[in-house]
Amino acid sequence: MPDMRGGVSCFHVYAPGLIEPMVIGDVTAPVLRIVTIRGKQDEIIEEQFLCVQYHKLLVKEISEIFIEIRTSSGTLMPFQYGTCTLTLHFKKASYF
């Protein structure tokens, strides 16, 4: 059976300049979340995460947010069509 995902089984959501880098394998990177790809080719997938992940911010004020979605090899995720929506939740933390 052919690999319909082109060898891509997950993708990484990066927020460079927004959050502190975290350890991913043998490197550090500003990764918000790693998402496992599921579903079949051309199938619309909706993913809702019940476990919220919070990250320490690098800045106190935010004027814009830049997001990169990349494969585990580091290349930009090759979305062919459709919409990708990302919702971020910010919470003031006194313990950082």
DSSP letter assigned to residue 5: T
> pLDDT in tens for each of the 96 residues of the chain?
545 456 688 999 999 999 999 998 899 999 999 999 888 877 888 888 889 999 999 999 999 999 999 998 889 988 878 888 899 999 988 765
Q: What pLDDT, on the 0 to 100 scale, is given for residue 83?
A: 84
Domain locations in the chain as residue ranges: 1-96
For residue 94, what are its two tokens?
Answer: 């006194």
Q: Provide the β-strand partners of residue 87.
A: none
